Amino acid sequence: MTEIVHMNKLKINISRLNDMLEQLSVIGRDEQGGITRLAGTEADKEARDLVVNWMKEAGLNVFIDRIGNIIGFRNGLENIKPLMVGSHIDTVISGGKFDGSYGVLAGLEIIMTLNDNKIKTKQPIALCVFTNEEGVRYSPDMMGSLVYANGLSVKEALRSINNEGGTLGQELQKIGYAGDARCGLYIPSHYIELHIEQGPILNMERIDVGIVDSLQGILWKEITILGESNHAGTTPINYRKDSGLAAANLILFLRHLCEKVGGGQVATCGKIRFDPNQINVIPGKVIMTVDLRNSDEAKLNEAEQLLDDYLSEVSNVESFNITSKILVRLHPIAFNEFLVSLIEKNAQKLGFTYRKMTSGAGHDAQMMARICPSAMIFVPSVDGISHSPLEYTPSTDIENGANLLLHTVLELANQDSVT
């Protein structure tokens, strides 16, 4: 007699989930207390091996596709399109323990909870760990899901080069995750991603969960400014072509650009490299990145145009040789209304306070939305901090988010109209 727990009372096992989060967070832990688990590295391999192990213990059929995405498959009562949950386990440098890992491990936890209660769903459930979501060593970010959604060829993705000159393909081989399954093997009926908000809103407004109905557009550019290296002591100010000064002015301009464009426009110079990078040499070359984001496509285009106009003006007026190349260009997206309302219905059923919201961060759901109805659930990030060792979400919120995912998946995977 299968022990039927009343569905509405079903809950995940929070101590098991916390324990998995803790165990995974040990891998790549650095001296600042942050986690550095960059795509394709030994730490990435160790984390992948641990999660694959857990997937197998949970009875999932696990396979790896050609871009290294890990897919764990739980059979349903019917052989129809799977419902997919997932996220990523690669991190930024000295990142936090929840970004990505939470969505993967909560997906695993809901499967373990279904197993514990001997619950079979009509639809199969797929749990996916996407490769290189962060894009720290290989551009673009959200790479594994972009390939899965047919937005980038697997060949091109495998050829992407890291700062040390190696390719992602070589590194996936080295860590044993150069899979042979075709990318995008299963087009899921729906994709739901549970993630920390990574911003301040839910925490500030004391709201339990966020129901994410949209995600802003992202533009990454790499800009190279060529000036003239020269002696820091003997070169009079008006004889200089100081690419470091040009870079500093550009970073200042980015702030004005945000004020001019408005509508929540953000701009970040996150990476900058001076050449020859010596204390007593005027930098002759600067390579820097610009990350522009806006939830409004027209405003993102306006921001890009303002940046390009500024760069050509500086080139002409101050005769620097400035070139730029686009690393990532992802449109803003709206998530699936049916899914958003289903998540909302389950948040009400579980008695959670909630609000609809857009995502400032990029996520794999942004790519999966290209091929199937997708949506996201957020839980609060204390003080809105993320991509930092200080990233933190209390256990109650971890549990709330996972229970909301559990009940949404349960309802979705047993509905009638799945094709």
In Å, how far are 11, 14, 206, 209, 349 from 98, measured between CA atoms? 20, 14, 19, 15, 26
Q: Would you count residue 141 as binding ligand HGY (CB under 6 A)? A: yes
Give how far the C-alpha of residue 75 lies from the chain's centroid of Cα atoms, to the nearest Å: 27
Q: Is the peptide bond before 283 cis (omega within 30 degrees of 0)?
A: no
Given 44, 90, 134, 193, the residue binding ligand HGY (CB under 6 A): 134
Stretch that binds ligand HGY, among 3-11, 128-136, 205-213, 411-419 (CB under 6 A): 128-136
Quickly count helices (H) and strands (E) in the chain. Answer: 12, 16
What letter does residue 7 receive in the DSSP assignment? G
Shortest distance, position 162 Cβ to ligand HGY, whole Å: 16
Given 133, 304, 344, 391, the residue binding ligand HGY (CB under 6 A): 133
Given 129, 361, 376, 412, the residue binding ligand HGY (CB under 6 A): 361
Shortest distance, position 46 Cβ to ligand HGY, whole Å: 21
Give residue number: closest CB to Mn ion. 100
Site for Mn ion in 84-123 (CB under 5 A): 99-100
171 binds, among Mn ion, ligand HGY, none (CB under 5 to 8 A by kind): none
The residue (of 181 and 327) whose beta carbon lies closer to ligand HGY is 327
Shortest distance, position 136 Cβ to ligand HGY, whole Å: 9
β-bridge pairing 272-275 and 61-64: unpaired
Shortest distance, position 135 Cβ to ligand HGY, whole Å: 6
Identify which of 218, 215, 217, 181 has the alpha carbon closest to the alpha carbon of residue 199: 215
Give how far the C-alpha of residue 209 lies from the chain's centroid of Cα atoms, to the nearest Å: 18
- CB-hemisphere CA count at 13 Å for 351? 2
Other Cβ atoms less than 10 A from the Cβ of 277: the count is 11
- 124: tokens are 């199969």
Stretch that binds ligand HGY, among 32-40, 51-59, 118-126, 132-140 (CB under 6 A): 132-140
Give how far the C-alpha of residue 226 lies from the chain's centroid of Cα atoms, to the nearest Å: 32
362 binds, among Mn ion, ligand HGY, none (CB under 5 to 8 A by kind): ligand HGY
How many residues lie near Mn ion (CB under 5 A)?
A: 2
Q: Would you count residue 208 as binding ligand HGY (CB under 6 A)? A: no
Shortest distance, position 316 Cβ to ligand HGY, whole Å: 32
- 358: tokens are 């857009």
Q: Would you count residue 362 as binding Mn ion (CB under 5 A)? A: no
Given 362, 373, 380, 401, the residue binding ligand HGY (CB under 6 A): 362
How many residues lie near ligand HGY (CB under 6 A)?
A: 6
Identify which of 249, 255, 259 has the alpha carbon closest to the alpha carbon of residue 315: 249
Q: Would you count residue 199 as binding ligand HGY (CB under 6 A)? A: no
β-pair partners for 322: 225
100 binds, among ligand HGY, Mn ion, none (CB under 5 to 8 A by kind): Mn ion
Q: Rounded CA gap, 356 and 214, in Å?
A: 9
Q: Rounded CA gap, 368 and 391, in Å?
A: 26
Stretch that binds ligand HGY, among 30-38, 50-58, 129-137, 187-195 (CB under 6 A): 129-137
Could you list the residues that contact Mn ion (CB under 5 A)?
99-100
Residues at the interface with ligand HGY (CB under 6 A):
133-135, 141, 361-362
